[in-house]
Amino acid sequence: MNFESLGLDARILKALAEKGYTTPSPIQQQAIPVVLSGQDLMAAAQTGTGKTAGFTLPMLQNLLAGPSARNNQVRALVLTPTRELAQQVADNVSLYSKYLPLKSAVVYGGVKINPQMLKLRGGADVLVATPGRLLDLYQQNALKLDHLEILVLDEADRMLDMGFIHDLKKIVALMPKQRQTLLFSATFSEEIKALAERFVQDPAEVSVSPANTKAATISHQVFEVDKPNKTKLLIQLIKQEGWRQVLVFSKTKHGANRIARTLTSKGIEAAAIHGDKSQNARTKALADFKSGGVQVLVATDIAARGIDISQLPYVVNFDLPKVPEDYVHRIGRTGRAGETGHAISFVTEEDIKELFAIERVIGELIERHVDDTFPPTERLQASKLDTRPIKPKKPKKPKQPKAEATAPEGNNRTQTPRSGNAQKNRAKPNGNPAKRPKNSTEQASQKASGDRQPASRAPRKRTRPDTPKSE
Ligand code: AMP
């Protein structure tokens, strides 16, 4: 199969050819015809499968059929959990639409809001956004969603994990009921199905990887090591094995800084990314890592969400994740596109429960190793695979992840009223757009900083992950 046979516009095909893509990936083969037909879609696809082009290409084509966006209108909205992912998706949109008369923009927190407001003035055919900044902009009347034609929820499982559910509900309540909704998620958990019931109507379901399983091309290894020797072991492995492009996960921001500093002092180029780093510092560290200037990127889970680095060969769990499912997210960055990736975990006796939980989630026992130079004082308990089915998680209350939480974000925002039956009365695409809900936002004055704004006098409800402090 080739892209021509999917019926894409010649201008999109030209951009694809220039990029060197000839064959649609499996998710693209399945998703593109569905999206072109106007049907809603639920797609189970992880990063690295080509999912972004899977929704972007047909979305662009569908937008060609209608009039261009004007006056702060948004015609297609792609919501992503992280700023990094928003930027990546936006880069894809720009690339694939380079020969099309469509305007696109990207907005996320952590950078000034004023330039984003200016950019949105003339409207955007495609807007890529993180939920928090989108609501901020909406509340400042910088964008309108009442003519929205297409909504894409990218990495919906992460959006739920990061506590965006209330923001999503508010955003969806501002949109016409008649629209096309595409929901992409690495897994189809009960939580995601519940979300889909609210937002998606009669969807086609496509899947390219079984839910909740690790990619097949990843080798897992555990190193039994005492805590004080973890950094030394990491340095030894990187040097002896000649590892390049290593993503290291630390459970704390301080830990990430410390590891990066020690590696650098031993002649290994390393950088840390976490919630205390500015967006610019994070973008630079990521760019340097991708280009090879930085050999080791040390990240916390929140900061690493949404990072797309293809063919990343090594992921090191310097600390095991607190939640076993995060192991799958972490290692999802390695072993892409048929490459073999290596997931290496440093485990001490006090992490043993976490290790057992991870083995239960991935459904296999992980090979254990002991390094001769840094043998553990005590060997770990042997694992026995727990094959009991894992109960679906209850939807989480929105909260700021503890490991990343620092200062309050200083933003008050009212709950945007939802239109009562908005979700129940959904009609299929191509009907008339619904009216904008009354009272949908409040005028908000803008802070001198141009970044955050007080939206109302209402008491602060909660903190949000999409802020410089939390990512
Ligand atoms: P994604 O899953 O959207 O993050 O894409 C993973 C990687 O695959 C990105 O670097 C894309 O640029 C690349 N990609 C997407 N579609 C194709 C294709 N049809 N052929 C080759 N590479 C692709």
Q: What's the gap in Å between 330 CA and the centre of ligand 1?
A: 19
Instruction: Based on the fold, state whether residues 22 and 163 are members of the same structural domain.
Output: yes
Instruction: Based on the fold, state whether residues 342 and 277 are members of the same structural domain.
Output: yes
Closest CA to 45 of 59, 30, 27, 23: 27
Average pLDDT, the chain: 81
Q: What is the DSSP letter of 353?
A: H
- Model confidence at 220: pLDDT above 80: yes
Instruction: Point out the ligand 1 atom lying closest to the alpha carbon of residue 25.
Output: 19
More confident residue, 11 or 385: 11
The Cα 256–Cα 372 span in angstroms is 26
Lowest mean pLDDT among 201-215, 219-233, 395-409: 395-409
Considering the domain boundaries, does residue 452 fall inside one?
A: no
DSSP E strands, 115-176 = 124-129, 150-153
Query: Under DSSP, is residue 39 helix (H, G, I), strand (E, B) or coil?
Result: coil
pLDDT digits (tens, 9 = 90+) for 159-206: 988 889 999 999 999 999 999 999 999 878 888 888 898 899 999 999
Instruction: Point out the ligand 1 atom lying closest to the alpha carbon of residue 46.
Output: 2
Instruction: Based on the fold, state whether residues 172 and 258 are members of the same structural domain.
Output: no
Q: What is the DSSP letter of 422?
A: T
Ligand 1 mutation pick, 8, 21, 333, max ligand atoms within 8 A of CB:
21
pLDDT digits (tens, 9 = 90+) for 400-421: 544 333 322 223 333 333 333 3
Considering the domain boundaries, does residue 374 fall inside one?
A: no
| Residues listed for the chain | 471
Residues 108-131 have a mean pLDDT of 96
Residues 277-297 have a mean pLDDT of 86
The sign of the dihedral angle between the CA atoms of 23, 328, 261, 280 is positive
Q: What's the gap in Å between 21 CA and the centre of ligand 1?
A: 8
Question: Hey, which of 163-172, 394-403, 445-454, 462-471 has the most confident mean pLDDT?
Answer: 163-172
For atom 22 of ligand 1, which residue has the closest CA?
21
pLDDT digits (tens, 9 = 90+) for 306-344: 566 656 789 999 999 988 888 988 887 776 555 678 999
Instruction: Based on the fold, state whether residues 159 and 264 are members of the same structural domain.
Output: no
- Model confidence at 434: pLDDT above 80: no
The Cα 272–Cα 155 span in angstroms is 24
Considering the domain boundaries, does residue 103 fall inside one?
A: yes
Q: What is the DSSP letter of 213?
A: -
Does this model's pTM top 0.75? My answer is no
Structural domain including 254 reads 218-369
Count of structural domains, the chain: 2
More confident residue, 307 or 153: 153
- Model confidence at 272: pLDDT above 90: yes
Tokens matching residue 449: 């900083």
Asked if 257 contacts 200 with a C-beta cutoff of 8 angstroms, the reply is no
CATH code, 267:
3.40.50.300
